[in-house]
């Protein structure tokens, strides 16, 4: 099996914001779980639900989804006030004002919630294993935006990036062991060249692993993974 491409680095020709004169890169590609600051409700299609419009009025941030998008657009999701309020759509690259990849959210100020406390406690270990990592989900959203998205019952969602499963496996095993002793539930996704897989599936030795790709989930033979 040939490795599947996993997104491309962010690129940009730059655009000038009339209100400030500050020149910012225009984001034309992004990776799943990257957070994007957008122009606000105007970035949404006309048929967007009212709650999504309201959400972007106060916190104009969206998260990149794992999907294909038309040229000049990015697949994103909008978070509402409750778990039932999730809206998948596409935004124009020209409406993106900035990005916050998970790897940039490793400083952990904020509230003393179980998920955030767990992240503080795991930070040294995550840094020491030598893999690119960052928080996603409600904790990542809160750290990027300052909006109180996490709750007392939130899981700690993490993303770890690897380029070679065999080389990274010892580090992944140590992370899985550490996560099992944390009081807060830790849901760790590992981005591989073929897509994203659950940490628990990568370390338990099963012959096939469920991998999330832009075309949907698929089973991949462990032996064929780079």
* List 67, 155, 176, 187, catalytic entry: 155
Query: Which of 111, 101, 83, 82 lies closest to 37, judged by CA?
Result: 101
Backbone angles phi, psi at 187, to 5 degrees: -110, 105
Query: Which of 125, 131, 128, 146 lies closest to 35, judged by CA?
Result: 146
Which parts of 160-206 fold into alpha helices (H)? 165-179, 199-203
Q: Any idea what DSSP says for residue 5?
A: P
* List 157, 164, 204, 221, catalytic entry: 157
> With contact defined as beta carbons under 8 Å apart, do 148 and 111 qualify?
yes
Rounded to the nearest 5 percent, the helix, strand and coil shares of the chain are 30, 30, 45
- In which element (H, E) is residue 15 found? strand 15-16
Helices 165-179 and 114-128, axial angle in degrees (round to 10): 140
> With contact defined as beta carbons under 8 Å apart, do 76 and 88 qualify?
yes
157 is catalytic: yes
Q: How many CB atoms lie within 10 A of CB 212?
A: 17
Known catalytic residues are: 155, 157
């Amino acid at each position: 099996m040939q490795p599947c491409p996993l997104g491309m680095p962010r690129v940009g020709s730059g655009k000038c914001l009339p209100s400030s004169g500050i020149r910012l890169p225009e984001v034309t590609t992004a990776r799943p779980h990257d957070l994007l600051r957008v122009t606000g409700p105007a970035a949404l299609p006309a048929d967007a639900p009212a709650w999504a419009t309201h959400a972007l009025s106060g916190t104009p941030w969206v998260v990149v989804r794992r999907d294909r998008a038309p040229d000049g657009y990015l697949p994103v999701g909008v978070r509402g006030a409750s778990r039932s309020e999730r809206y998948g759509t596409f935004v124009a690259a020209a409406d993106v004002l900035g990005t916050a990849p998970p790897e940039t959210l490793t400083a952990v100020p904020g509230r003393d919630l179980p998920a955030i406390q767990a992240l503080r406690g795991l930070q040294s270990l995550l840094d020491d294993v030598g893999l690119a990592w960052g928080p996603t989900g409600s904790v990542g959203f809160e750290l990027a935006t300052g909006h109180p998205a996490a709750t007392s019952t939130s899981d700690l969602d993490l993303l770890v990036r690897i380029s070679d499963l065999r080389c990274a496996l010892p580090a992944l095993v140590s992370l899985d062991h550490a996560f099992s002793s944390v009081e807060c539930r830790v849901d760790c996704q590992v981005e591989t060249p073929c897509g994203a897989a659950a940490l628990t599936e990568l370390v338990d030795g099963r012959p096939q692993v469920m991998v999330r790709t832009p075309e949907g989930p698929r089973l991949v033979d462990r032996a064929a993974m780079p």
